[in-house]
Amino acid sequence: MKPAARNIVLPLVCLAALLLVPVFAIDSYTRHLFIIAFLYAIIASNWNLSLGHCGVFNFGHLTFFGVGVYTAAILAKTLGVNPWIAILASGATAAAAAFLIAAPVARLKGIYVVLVTFAFGQLVMQLVLSQAQITGGAEGMVRIPYLRLGDYSFLKDYKLGYYYAALFLLVVSTLFLLAVVRSPFGKSLKAVRDAEEYAAARGISISRQRVTVLVLSAIFTGIAGGFYAIYLRVASPDVFGFGTLSLALSMVLIGGTGTVYGPIAAALALTFATEALAGIRGLEEARFILIALAMILVLRIAPGGLLGIIEKLDFRDRKPAAPAVARNGP
């Protein structure tokens, strides 16, 4: 298969298939799984922008998602803002949060980036827990207003509206990521990852690229968070926990860091896999163990992600794949 066919035709075929899914999946549960998978796909592919493409050891990506969740929840429920606007505002607040955390990240190296981004997530979670009168504290917020378009309520038709809205969001986010990655700016990100000193010598500001990439990766993650809150009508501090973090991380790893479509494919596959495992009696907890084992196995045998293996097998006309996992400083 030629690269053009792979880069354009294959994604379009997948998109067409996803557009047709609601025709065959008429029950709201299957559609619900797809919607959640789309949101995870947005989280994972945007995380990959900072982690995989630029090599920023960002372990606070789910914080941007959580900021989005609570922005939409507070705006729509407490302040009575239209849910559509609340979702869009979530992208803005998440980007602002990313800008805040980017200040120390731009100056730090190696393990300290991991620690400070991780701690930032804990900071936001503690803020949410301590401001119980605004955020609902540990219990979270419920009965958040749902989406409407004119007179049409999105609760109708077995989540058909939500399905297409989430898919639309995923498509826009993916186009945005492709545009960023293929732009000169995207190439400079790879330079920062693979040859920091050389990039700096060529006049690329390492700190500025890091700040920019964190803010860009937060926009759609925050919007996905806002959508998540409006769709589930719940906001809970669980989004900041280790569980969500490791699930999203496994999607990035299994899909392949440094690709755009890999984490999206992995998000779809893993959401259905974990959901199927949860249905088997006795595996409700064990499925997280299986995901963790899968992560370890992928790091051991295919550090480029499973998509990396398929690329090596099928598409020999491609250049050797870029270094698999991101690097950050000496």
Residue type, 130: S
* 87 vs 295, beta carbon nearer another protein: 295
Out of 78, 82, 126, 183, the only residue in the binding site for another protein (CB under 8 A) is 126
Contact status: 278 vs another protein (CB under 8 A) = no
Out of 119, 206, 310, 321, the only residue in the binding site for another protein (CB under 8 A) is 119
CA 198 to chain centre: 30
> Per CB under 8 A, which of residues 288..327 are in contact with another protein?
288-289, 291-293, 295-296, 299-300, 303, 323-327
* 139 vs 314, beta carbon nearer another protein: 139
How far CA 83 is from CA of 43, 64, 167, 168, 225, in Å, comes to 20, 18, 18, 16, 12
Out of 14, 81, 92, 123, the only residue in the binding site for another protein (CB under 8 A) is 123
Q: What values do phi and psi take at 213, rounded to 5?
A: -65, -35
The rounded distance, in Å, linking the Cα atoms of 71 and 213 is: 21
The rounded distance, in Å, linking the Cα atoms of 121 and 101 is: 10
> Per CB under 8 A, which of residues 143..172 are in contact with another protein?
none
Contact status: 277 vs another protein (CB under 8 A) = no
How many positions of this chain bind another protein (CB under 8 A)?
A: 48
63 burial type by CB count under 10 A (0-12 exposed, 13-18 middle, 19+ buried): buried
CB of 79 to another protein, least distance (A): 23
CB of 227 to another protein, least distance (A): 26
Say if residues 98 and 124 touch (Cβ distance below 8 Å): no
**Structure tokens that stand for 120 in this block:** 């930032």
CB of 34 to another protein, least distance (A): 25
- Sort strands 234-235 and 141-142 into parallel, antiparallel or unpaired: antiparallel
Span of 87-95, 105-113, 197-205, 211-219 interacting with another protein by CB under 8 A: 105-113
The rounded distance, in Å, linking the Cα atoms of 148 and 163 is: 14
Say if residues 78 and 135 touch (Cβ distance below 8 Å): no
Contact status: 103 vs another protein (CB under 8 A) = yes
> Per CB under 8 A, which of residues 8..67 are in contact with another protein?
57, 59
Q: How many beta carbons lie within 10 A of that of residue 321, not counting itself?
A: 16
> Per CB under 8 A, which of residues 128..147 are in contact with another protein?
129-130, 132
Binding site for another protein (CB under 8 A): 57, 59, 101, 103-104, 107-112, 114-116, 118-120, 122-123, 126-127, 129-130, 132, 242-243, 245-246, 249, 253, 285-286, 288-289, 291-293, 295-296, 299-300, 303, 323-328
